[in-house]
């Protein structure tokens, strides 16, 4: 925890036209819009109202099986959770249900894809994030930050994640502990509002490990600049959040958000999965884009004796 906790208690009646964190791309219009929502959604009543809708708390568990390089040791189970958006447009029971599903999966590694709050990083939202992350017992928890975190108060959010046992990766690479030391997680900064440096992150790696790239947005693929990846995990799109039966109608800003709006895909020999996330932004509604978590079962291709 940082010695000086950043200021996070922004009064609900004030207008804030600038980002409180280090994120770019926060226009005065965005600030005005969020300032209006801060007043209109005071008390988080939209999330509570949405809680009464049948099925609103149901979380889809998307399971996939992938191959690791040949070797020994048991399979690696990874749980990936994104876009919690603690705040007025996300019912807390949805977040509780999502993390209950994570605990039920009993992962070896928990990966977190960013956007932990909507609007402000208020103390009770940070306490909820800390509580949810710490409720997962696995020893390795790694996180990246999203655009809403960089607009809210990224140091305070990073502190809450750290208190929950998660290490925040900002253009950093880390090898997993044995028996998966040939697997690396590369955590990238948000490509839309931060500074995404995949070459710098990959340069920290020795050898040629199996690479899991963790980035808030699918647009991180545009910043790989030739870097090889085996698995790429992102959120940000919410699957359109308020989608039509035939797919997303409106998607967040990002060049690749429509091409990789949700679910698995492949690109340049790598496997991609975009989560719809758990929470919502701007309106407390999801249609045809239910909340999800992702569970990956990575097994050795050829088990060595
Ligand atoms: Fe999001």
As a whole number, mean pLDDT of residues 8-23 equals 84
- Is residue 302 predicted with pLDDT exceeding 90? no
The pLDDT value recorded for residue 7 is 60
The pLDDT value recorded for residue 279 is 97
Give 89 Cα–ligand 1 centroid separation in angstroms.
11
pLDDT classification of 2: cutoffs 50, 70, 90: very low
The pLDDT value recorded for residue 226 is 84
Give 206 Cα–ligand 1 centroid separation in angstroms.
33
Give 235 Cα–ligand 1 centroid separation in angstroms.
7
CB 146 within 8 A of CB 173: no
The percent of residues above 90 in pLDDT, for the chain, comes to 84
The pLDDT value recorded for residue 30 is 95
Structurally, the chain folds into a number of domains equal to 1
Give 298 Cα–ligand 1 centroid separation in angstroms.
26
Question: Does residue 42 lie within any of the structural domains?
Answer: yes
Q: What is the CATH number of the domain that holds 103?
A: 3.60.21.10
| Nearest one of 128, 152, 141 to 38, comparing CA atoms | 152
| Averaged confidence pLDDT in the chain | 93
Question: Does residue 9 lie within any of the structural domains?
Answer: no
Question: Does residue 203 lie within any of the structural domains?
Answer: yes
Question: Does residue 10 lie within any of the structural domains?
Answer: no
Question: Does residue 8 lie within any of the structural domains?
Answer: no
> Cis omega (within 30 of 0) on the bond before 210?
no
Dump pLDDT digits (tens) for 198-221: 999 999 998 889 999 999 999 999
| Residue 142 to residue 151: CA distance in whole angstroms | 21
**And the tokens for 11?**
């009064």
Range of the domain at 293: 28-300
Question: Does residue 6 lie within any of the structural domains?
Answer: no
Question: Does residue 16 lie within any of the structural domains?
Answer: no
As a whole number, mean pLDDT of residues 20-36 equals 94
As residues whose CB is below 5 A from the ion ligand 1, the structure lists 83, 115
pTM metric for this prediction: 0.95
The pLDDT value recorded for residue 6 is 67
Distances (CA, A) of 97 to 17, 55, 162, 298: 34, 12, 22, 24
The pLDDT value recorded for residue 14 is 83
| Nearest one of 232, 177, 175, 172 to 202, comparing CA atoms | 172
Question: Does residue 201 lie within any of the structural domains?
Answer: yes
| Residue 80 to residue 98: CA distance in whole angstroms | 10
Dump pLDDT digits (tens) for 77-96: 999 999 999 999 999 999 99
Give 212 Cα–ligand 1 centroid separation in angstroms.
21
Give 276 Cα–ligand 1 centroid separation in angstroms.
9
């Amino acid at each position: 925890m940082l010695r000086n906790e950043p200021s996070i208690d922004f009064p609900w009646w004030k207008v804030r036209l600038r980002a409180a964190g280090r994120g770019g791309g926060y226009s005065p219009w965005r600030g005005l819009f969020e300032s209006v929502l801060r007043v209109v959604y005071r008390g988080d009543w939209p999330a509570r109202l949405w809680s009464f809708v049948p099925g609103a708390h149901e979380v889809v568990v998307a399971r996939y099986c992938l191959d690791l390089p040949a070797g020994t040791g048991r399979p690696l189970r990874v749980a990936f959770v994104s876009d919690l958006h603690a705040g007025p447009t996300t019912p807390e029971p949805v977040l509780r249900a999502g993390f209950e599903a994570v605990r039920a999966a009993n992962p070896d590694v928990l990966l977190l894809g960013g956007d932990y709050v909507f609007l402000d990083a208020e103390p009770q939202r940070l306490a909820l994030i800390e509580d949810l992350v710490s409720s997962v017992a696995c020893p390795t928890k790694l996180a990246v930050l999203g655009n809403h975190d960089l607009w809210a108060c990224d140091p305070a959010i990073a502190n809450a994640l750290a208190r929950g046992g998660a290490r925040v990766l900002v253009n950093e690479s880390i090898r997993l502990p044995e028996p998966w030391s040939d697997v690396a997680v590369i955590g990238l900064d948000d490509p839309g509002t931060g500074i995404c440096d995949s070459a710098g992150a990959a340069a920290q790696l020795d050898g040629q490990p199996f690479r899991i790239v963790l980035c808030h947005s699918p647009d991180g693929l545009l910043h790989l600049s030739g870097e090889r990846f085996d698995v790429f995990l992102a959120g940000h799109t919410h699957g359109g959040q308020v989608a039509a039966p035939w797919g997303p109608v409106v998607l967040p800003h990002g060049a690749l958000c429509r091409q990789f709006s949700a679910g698995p895909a492949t690109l340049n020999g790598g496997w991609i999965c975009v989560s719809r996330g758990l929470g919502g932004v701007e309106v407390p509604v999801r249609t045809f884009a239910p909340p999800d978590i992702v569970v990956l079962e990575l097994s050795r291709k050829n088990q060595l004796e």
